[in-house]
Amino acid sequence: MTVKNTSVKNDKLSANGQHGGMPLLHEPKLNKGTAYSVEERRQLGLEGLLPHAVENLDRQVERVMAHLDEKADDLERYTYLIGLEDRNETVFYKTVMSDPKRFIPVLYDPTVADACETFGNNYRRARGMYITRYMKGRMAEVLRNWPEKDVRFICVSTGGRILGLGDIGANGMGIPIGKLQLYTACAAVPPAGLLPVLFDIGTTNETLRADPFYMGTREAPVSEAELDELTEEFIQAVQEVFPNCCVHFEDWKGTDAIRMLDRYKDKILCYNDDIQGTASVALAGIAAGMNITGGKLTEQRVMFLGAGSAGLGIAKLFCAELQTLGLSEAEARKQVALFDINGLIEHSRTDLSDTQKLYARPAKPCKDFLKAIEEFKPTVLIGVSTKARAFTREVIELMSKLNEQPIIFALSNPTHKAECSAEEAYSWSKGKALFAAGVQFPDFEYEGKTYRPGQANNFYIYPAIGLATYACRPTRLNDECFIVAAHATADQVTLTQRAKGMLFPSQEQILETEVTTAARIAEYMFDSGLAQVERPRDIRAWLEAQLYKPQY
């Protein structure tokens, strides 16, 4: 794959009014470290500031790999890599892009959960921006403090619902940082235009508020009305300061997440990865399952354990897909059932949100999950509950009795929150289940056959959405963009991979996968009139010409 180098060059130093010497070695976007040539060291005032040896980028990466091998666990590797990015962005991305299967779980889930829990204790350097209620009336002014003026993506979180950790406030900053790193690591979106933002509205977590090392505001969260007012100012400030920017909402509290997406999706370029990205990757897994079983998507009945923003988002996109295949809205919703802590989502319940009411079934109240499964007879079971081991042996055995090849998704993160493990799904189903989780479980052998569990993680979707958005500059991102992304991902699961029960492509060639998906999304953007740039003759080649490549 041919990609261009979009790294910042040192020959721009004079034009930018910057100088060489020691400050250059502390600028991660520009720093080459020991790769500076003898002549560059003379010209840039670096003589004597570096060891004598001149190394190439590959040798620098070798040293990094050796350091990583010495670390005791992935949290230590995460900390090391974050420090590396602070010193030399090129070496950082060269390293993580050289082996994405190894480094995705280090930079993101599940390691990032541990990193977020200790964020304040391990804080070393500001990364991204922190917006608080005390900036009310001045948010545009504050955003202008960011040195990069052509910001193309802002990933913004309140820290209100981080993975399975709940409300961790400002400690949630690790999520926007990690999400944006994967834009580049998985889909080669140029990193210069990526801005992580922690929207610090306070936290309900009293333990954190009492922690002397906590980095956020120490108040309870603002009211819903004040949050809406602050968010509106933030959104308008982004439109003013970064007019080409896509806002990526991430890990807001469920009700806030749904409300903000509904409010802004038709007004600005934005999306919510917890809702739309999760829905798209789940739809990809179901579509890949149909490629294995030969079933029809319109005949699938999907039951959710969990009825928050993730479950509702998957249900919405699944129903939207069924409608494109000819079902009415009412017929599509009949194919979905949701079950939460208070039981089946059905018409008699008075505790439902407006969105939940759309999926309320005309059924009797039921608080027995097994009974609900037996009555609904789902072909697909999706866990988004954060309730560990909720998919018991009885649940898996019942799904296996109802279906020749049940699709079981235990999507809750981190690992200890998963509804079941791969080993449990395969052994209890006697090898019948098509299984995926939000984290990567190891291969499992059952009766002489090796099964490779899928990882239904959003990194298959949102970086490709990001690349297509970066290149096409669409006016909006609609549901169809995420449906296209889902099918493009499912179509890349090979026959050999399907034979192992795989529902998602291999991570070894994640860049190739993401560019292929992005090309399909871009084609849809051009066909539908969403794109704001001229359509190229060869969309794939055009995308490849815009990819970031870590090199000096």
Angle ∠(259,264,267) on CA atoms, nearest 5: 155
Catalytic annotation on 401?
Answer: no
Closest among 466, 457, 492 to 548, alpha carbons compared: 466
Strands 380-383 and 302-305: parallel
Residue 250 known to bind ligand: yes
Residue 273 known to bind ligand: no
One of 36, 108, 426, 451 is an active-site residue; which one? 108
**How is residue 448 written in tokens?**
């002489």
Element of type H or E holding 54: none
Angle ∠(479,485,488) on CA atoms, nearest 5: 140
Residue 251 known to bind ligand: yes
Which ranges of 121-223 does DSSP label H, i.e. alpha helix? 139-143, 174-187, 206-209
Distance of CA 103 to the CA centre of its chain: 15
Closest among 160, 166, 241, 151 to 196, alpha carbons compared: 151
Do 380 and 307 touch, CB atoms closer than 8 A?
no
Residue 161 known to bind ligand: yes
Residue 244 known to bind ligand: no
Amino acid at 547: L
Distance of CA 510 to the CA centre of its chain: 14
Q: How far is CA 296 from CA 286, 315, 316, 322, in A?
A: 10, 17, 18, 10
Residues 392-399: contacts with CB within 8 Å, 24+ apart? 392/420, 393/424, 393/428, 394/370, 395/369, 395/370, 395/420, 396/420, 396/424, 396/425, 396/428, 396/429, 396/433, 397/428, 397/429, 398/370, 398/373, 398/374, 399/373, 399/429, 399/433
Residue 121 known to bind ligand: no
One of 32, 93, 94, 179 is an active-site residue; which one? 179
Instruction: Calculate the CA dihedral of residues 336, 338, 344, 350 and round it to 10 degrees.
Output: -100
Residue 482: partners with Cβ closer than 8 Å, 6 or more residues away: 271, 276, 277, 279, 280, 283, 317, 461, 465
Catalytic annotation on 446?
Answer: no
Give the catalytic positions in this structure: 108, 179
Residue ranges for the known binding site for a divalent metal cation are 250-251, 274
Residue ranges for the binding site? 161, 250-251, 274, 413, 457
As annotated, the binding site for (S)-malate includes 161, 413, 457
